[in-house]
Structure 1
Amino acid sequence: MDSEASVSPRFFVLEEGVPSSRYDVDVEKAEPVNRAEAPRCPRCGDIIGLLTWSAPYRVELELHGEELGDFIRSTGYERLISERFTEAFRAEGLTGLEGFHPIEVVRVRYMRKRPRQPLAVPRYYVVWPCFGRAAVDLVLNRVRFSKPPTCTECRATGIDAIHGFVLEPGTWSGEDIFRPRGMQGDLVVSERFKDFVERHGFTNMRLTPTEQYVWDPSNLGPAPLPTA
């Protein structure tokens, strides 16, 4: 048997930097701000995301750190990516991002002391990580759900704490960056995406193996392990 074929793919949670880092920045949409309808589950009809930002794409940036990174979280599900990230992503055939609309940076406000040298403001594009087919395994994880999901398609529910999770085998469709079913508020990436980020040295991204990812604002601890 080919041992490589039996190895399960590895996945990572993508977070945008950390507060107080050199790439710490806030995004504020500049007027006029237009929004389209929020995405809904095709089966149950429940809303599974935030309102979608639509053109014109204009922003003001509040820089709390020292420089602007390649991957910036906005106020919705969209992300701002630099031109060099965009070009490399397309050239290497990675998948899972939608949109790629040019962004107009109207203004950069310095929340700390203005740098001595003029700040280089990259050209940015707005993208939306797709809603993937990969689904969070409802049994083999340490996630505390506020209530069990009722829809087998979107698996949307409230989450109180995460102490590692895995994806249900056979549900991943091969996207390199996506929002998994059952955990649409988080970004998950493939090992190929992780290698891509590290090889190019893209900034303002933190990648944690899904089984090691912890989010527990109320210190509830991990969910109990399933009993046999």
Structure 2
Amino acid sequence: MDSEASPRFFVLEEGGSRSRYDTDVDPVEPENLADAPRCPRCGDFIGMLTSLPPHRVELELHGEELGDFIRCPGYERLLSERFAEAFRAEGLTGLEGFHPVEVVRVRCMRRRPLKPLTVPRYYIVSPCFGRAMVDVVLNRVRVSKPPTCMECRSTGIDAIHGFVLEPDTWGGEDIFRPRGMQGELVVSERFKDFVERHELTNIRLTPTEQFVWDPSNLGPAPLPTT
């Protein structure tokens, strides 16, 4: 099949603990929180508590400089102003919010070069819960229990050794949390091209079929028998 019939997807992560942009986010109290969303069919949680404006944070810099993409507690993310403006200007989809963030303080946790630290203007966003569904048959994913709701596909995941999405379930979003694996951020090939073109920092993209998460070294799930 050609690439148009079989779109490619990638898991979006931060650069990692050894990245020069390694940063933690600490919300500043008092923090206003909204209720976590639930599946309209089964009532299970399909997201986490989300923060409400005004957004005030402290940044803990473990690397050398602040990047364009920073993971927050829960499912929210911080985007630099240049990331946010380019995303909206080019019509990419899948992020909600774009609320400005006040960076109250930056704590540098290691010695840095003597040049002044540049603190970008940040916005907080929430990746949408997309329509794309993780294929429950073809994946090398170990689950603690099979999903019982075909709307949200919520389940407990113990290990991931690559996954694919069910054909024709993707709604066209450029960044989303898939059904059946809501804890991961998945992006389109257009998003990957966008990141590379703008040289956005602190971003790691892995093809979904090559993505591995296995904290207990359980190994991949057995292949389905025919």
TM-score, normalized by length of structure 1? 0.97
Match of 2:110 among 88, 91, 112: 112
1:145 & 1:114 partners in 2: Cα distance?
A: 42
1:94 aligns with 2:92: yes
1:80 aligns with 2:90: no
Counterpart residue type for residue 14 of structure 2: E
Counterpart residue type for residue 68 of structure 1: L
Residues 66/7 of structure 1: CA separation in 2 closer, same or farther (3 Å cut):
same
- Structure 1: tracts of 5 or more residues without a match: none
Counterpart residue type for residue 212 of structure 1: Q
CA displacement at 1:5 relative to structure 2:
7.0
CA displacement at 1:114 relative to structure 2:
4.5
Matches within 5 A, 1:45-84: 45-84=43-82
- Alpha carbons 1:71, 1:205 under 8 Å: kept: yes
Match of 1:135 among 133, 136, 150: 133
CA displacement at 1:38 relative to structure 2:
0.4
1:145 aligns with 2:143: yes
- Structure 2: tracts of 5 or more residues without a match: none
Q: Deviations over 1:140-173 (max 9, x none)?
A: 1100011000100000010000000000001000
CA displacement at 1:115 relative to structure 2:
3.6
1:70 & 1:134 partners in 2: Cα distance?
A: 26
CA displacement at 1:180 relative to structure 2:
0.1
Q: 2:179 corresponds to which residue?
A: 181
Matches within 5 A, 1:16-55: 16-55=14-53
Identical aligned residues as a percent: 80
SS in 1 for 2:224: coil
1:76 & 1:159 partners in 2: Cα distance?
A: 17
Q: 1:172 corresponds to which residue?
A: 170
1:51 & 1:74 partners in 2: Cα distance?
A: 12
1:12 & 1:4 partners in 2: Cα distance?
A: 18
Count of matched residue positions in the alignment of Structure 1 and Structure 2:
226
- Alpha carbons 1:32, 1:56 under 8 Å: kept: no
Q: Deviations over 1:9-44 (max 9, x none)?
A: 000000111102100010000111111100100111
1:112 & 1:4 partners in 2: Cα distance?
A: 48
Moved over 2 A (4+): 3-7
Query: Aligned-residue CA RMSD in angstroms?
Result: 1.1
SS in 2 for 1:103: strand
